[in-house]
Homo-oligomer: A and B are copies of this chain.
């Protein structure tokens, strides 16, 4: 790509052209040099959109909730984006939730840009790749940007932590198993949702959340609100949207936002460095099929990875 094409692409996506937006995201996802150049150029234009992270266990109804929120934002004439992080198949390498069926009205509405991201193959970590896609959407003035993750793993937590507001979705019945609640997601939620509130056990669940929150002692003193929804019946959607907005505005003032921006910047810097530097080291130290041979030697215990890495790191120099 020559510079004028990058210029055009950047200009078109910032104008709101959807095909340019899709193309830019693909470049960024592929980690091509053009994608990185584009990111470098659009980065100063970012940091304006509201980024809403939505997470919770599989089966909590996150997708339905996101779809309802999206429909509501569309009624308010907001031009938004949804990024759905899909756990990938380790066999096929593809996303297994890619076939997920979105509400028809959303899928054909140019005001809702939907993108699935697979979790595999990001050397610098999924959180960095996601942050980069968010930056493209941010530069394209998509606002809000909803980032939906399945699961409660470390990568997912890192992604949600990049959001301006993190929403944790739970369902009644999980309250029976307090461990399930404590599993990592409890302390990242700025807002909690009890979805599927037509099921029994809502009060027990609410009590369990309150108890755990009272133990958490957030250093910022924020007390996360708990919202009750039935996403498939569109109940509670407006209250949730209002609560998210109020939380966002609250966090804008004060030290909170700068803290989050700093954490995001640090993660990004480290992740990018892991991705780019390790690739250069590998290409330099193990050209062609040398890598396969070394992997074989390690697998057979004829050689050990610690000595190999130690040697490579010892040889690394960073010229002024």
Q: Which residues of A contact B (CB under 8 A)?
A: 36-37, 39-40, 43-44, 46-47, 57-59, 63, 87-92, 96-97, 100, 119-120, 123, 126, 150-157, 161, 174, 176-177, 179-188, 216-219, 258, 261-262, 264-266, 268-270, 272-274, 276-278, 280-282, 284-285, 291, 294-296, 298-301, 304-310, 312-313, 315-320
Contacts and interface: CB of A to CB of B under 8 A. Distances in A.
Contacts of A119: 153-154, 184
A187 B94 CA distance: 12
B161 A90 contact: yes
Contacts of A219: 91
A186 B96 contact: yes
Contact of A276 (B92, B269, B304, B309): B309
B276 A313 contact: yes
Interface centre among A90, A96, A185, A306, by most chain B C-beta atoms within 10 angstroms, is A306
Contacts of A265: 295-296, 298-299, 305
List the number of copies, as a whole number.
2
Contacts of A309: 269, 272-273, 276-277
A153 B44 CA distance: 31
A269 B281 contact: no
A184 to B, nearest CB: 3
A222 to B, nearest CB: 11
A268 B150 CA distance: 26
Contacts of A150: 152, 183-184
A236 B40 CA distance: 56
